[in-house]
Amino acid sequence: MAAPARMVVGRVIRPHGVRGELAVEVLSDAPERFAPGAEVAAGDPDGDQPLRPLQVTAARLHQGRMLLRFAGIEDRDAAEPLRGSLLTIPAEAARELGPDEFWRHQLVGLAVVDSDGKDRGVVSDVLPGTAHDLLEVRRPDGVAVLVPTVAALIEVQLDQGRVVVQAIPGLLDPDGSG
């Protein structure tokens, strides 16, 4: 999977109140990127419509969500068209990753092998989980299984184009064989 030009960092849920504030689901592990003065774009980065540039003027936490105000969005009527919009940043503005961190686009498409080198499938998606993200592995028989991204279970080898998964019974096969 090719590196995207833009990275999704949030999703507008709905307007909040009457003064143009928006409730936003933060889809980034760096919520500080929404500090006043930050610039994002609203819209579908893969869509046909142009993205709408926005500048954060205020940010605060409220009931587990971020409430944001943007320059030029002064009331509920101006905020309503942003409902459901993705908020993105240029890929080059994304934070540096640690040695054991990976972007979704780096993992999707990698071969999956077990610790004995046996082909077990391909990473078809990366899903956010409560405790850990989950690799969706499409096995050679077409069945999808979920594997937690826990260091004790997987080793990502980007340079070899693969993920090595420990052959724990029941993890990759429903019959419990491994």
Task: For residue 135, tell me if it sits in a domain.
Answer: yes
User: Which residue in 68, 79, 6 sits closest to 31, CA to CA?
Assistant: 68
Distance CA 12, CA 35 (A): 16
Residues 43 and 86 in one domain: yes
Residue 1 pLDDT: 56
84: containing domain: 6-93
Instruction: Look at residues 47, 64, 93 and tell me which one is the last residue of a structural domain.
Output: 93
Which CATH number characterizes residue 23's domain?
Answer: 2.40.30.60
Residue 65 pLDDT: 86
DSSP state of 124: E
Q: Report pLDDT digits (tens) over 25-42.
A: 888 778 888 999 999 999
Report the predicted TM-score, pTM, of the whole model to 2 decimal places: 0.69
Residue 164 pLDDT: 95
Contact (CB, 8 A) for 27 and 8: yes
Residue 56 pLDDT: 97
Determine whether 57 is exposed, middle or buried from the number of CB atoms within 10 Å of its CB (0-12, 13-18, 19+): middle
Residues 117 and 155 in one domain: yes
Spans of the chain, pLDDT less than 50: none
Residue 178 pLDDT: 54
Distance CA 95, CA 84 (A): 24
Which CATH number characterizes residue 140's domain?
Answer: 2.30.30.240
Distance CA 27, CA 39 (A): 16
Other C-beta atoms lying within 10 Å of the C-beta of residue 9:
22
Residue 126 pLDDT: 87
Task: For residue 16, tell me if it sits in a domain.
Answer: yes
Tokens of 27: 């889809």
Residue 71 pLDDT: 97
Q: Which residue has the tokens 């029941």?
A: 170
